[in-house]
Amino acid sequence: MITNCDMELLGQIPASLLFKRVNDNVINANEACFNLFGVDTSNRDFPQNLRFYDVESGALLSEASDPFERCLSKGTVDVNVRICSPVRNLTCEVKGSLICNKDQQWVVLHLSNAQSNDFTDQRAAKNSPLDNHLAFNRLLSKISSKLINLNAENLDSLIEKKLGAFGEFSGVDRCYIFQFYQNGKLMDNTHEWVAPGITPHKEELKGLSADDLPYFHEVIKTQHLFKVDDIYTLPAAASLEKQEFERERIGAVLCVAIYLDEKLFGFIGCDIVGSTYKWRDHDVRYLKLIGEIVSNTLAAMSNKQSLEQVSNELAIANKQLDHLANSDGLTGIANRRQFDTKLESAIRRGIRDNDLISLLFIDVDLFKQFNDTYGHSAGDEALKLVARTLDECCRRYDDLAARYGGEEFAVILPNTDAKQAHYIAELIMQKMNKLAIPFEGSPGNNVLSISIGITTQKCSNELSSSILIDLADKALYQAKENGRNRIEETN
């Protein structure tokens, strides 16, 4: 304790003061400071348990940067800091001076409550109710403008920032949103802002059931408002709620129901940690307004996401329909319709780029005999394997393998010369031989074989898809006439 008579006078000054000797770690507080934090003067350990936090970043100030050390190094200090005690947490304007008293030096800090403690702005002590109302309207406008053009990616972080703006404005310790699900039987803490020095609880408050907090659930659903000035005044029916509030060191709590499309979505709430607080009518009104802004934002985002989902589902459905319309039902590769479209397009592009185009016609040798011998099921499986082989050999984006009809297939090779086309044909033959589909009497050494006809043409206005098809078909006919299981080309 201070024994110097002059310093004892500090303890009697009505202004809230913290003070300590230079080169001494013992912090002293006067009676007004004890009262400011709602602490009994008999609790002499109170000043030693104070922690100082940066208002902007929320970071705990190091010993070298707390107000005492700043004042000691500069002679004076004038800063806003968040001061947390085991009882109450306050954002304070701290003004300090270095005072010399005979042979001793003291650092003296004057604390002014920078927050209103009644949901007004930080200048509430100086401003009229009208000024405070206007300040809140400015805050609403700022929050609303920020939430207009948000997207799903930044929704959560932006809502928490706006909760923070409201929390700092109002001087509460925690501000949060809970969402109900499973017909209101469960709830999650989805968004949370906490003041510097306050323990967050969002991650642990997941999957809470109505049975965990039955009194709260009943009140918020029937009265749409849960307002408690002092948790120790809760009725006996709220024993579970009181137990949870004590665990979180909540002294006073205010929650307002949030609705989406006239259905209970959840609630927005705020806490005072470590001390009681008498909530006023405008406290409730302000929180309801913030809740309405958040609920409108969530509703707009929900509608936007629903529209996006419908749009995506429609796009997927259209893609599936397009695939069905352009794909062969048995083999899955392009059908005759897609083949005709792609061939016309490839020729036009070839004319524009002055390119070559190659077309392969492929026929499964003696397929009717294969079907008669092994059955239609085996025939279908064989066609699927042939189609997959052709598709695997189409290595470029513009290449296309298609089922032309029955056991006949085609491969379009844009920008491909005769040598490259013959290489692809040989590759197809090799892969076909590796399949080794048994077929006695086949011209391919008792395995199912194919014949391939190739044509390569210069793209010009005189070249049409029908001319190209006729040339490839003639080459295929020649391959079958010459004994099948072979490749023939025509110019």
List active site positions: 407
Residues 92 and 107: their CA atoms lie apart, in Å, by 17
Q: What are the backbone angles phi and psi of residue 432, rounded to the nearest 5°? A: -65, -40
Residues 80 and 103: their CA atoms lie apart, in Å, by 31
3-class DSSP state of 373: helix
Report residue 465 as tokens.
């898809």
Q: What are the backbone angles phi and psi of residue 113, rounded to the nearest 5°? A: -65, 110
Q: Dump strand ranges (E) for 297-432.
A: 356-364, 400-405, 408-414
| Interior/surface letters 324-333, b for 16+ CB within 10 angstroms, e for the rest | eebbbeebeb
Centroid of chain to Cα 140 = 25
Nearest to 402 by CA among 341, 490, 476: 341
Q: How many CB atoms lie within 10 A of CB 161?
A: 16
DSSP characters for 238-300? Answer: GHHHHHHHHHTTEEEEEEEEEEETTEEEEEEEEEEESS-----HHHHHHHHHHHHHHHHHHHH
Residues 371 and 382: their CA atoms lie apart, in Å, by 10
Nearest to 188 by CA among 266, 243, 305: 266
| Interior/surface letters 366-383, b for 16+ CB within 10 angstroms, e for the rest | bbeebbeebeeebbeebb
Burial of residue 227, with CB atoms counted within 10 A of its CB: 0-12 exposed, 13-18 middle, 19 or more buried: middle
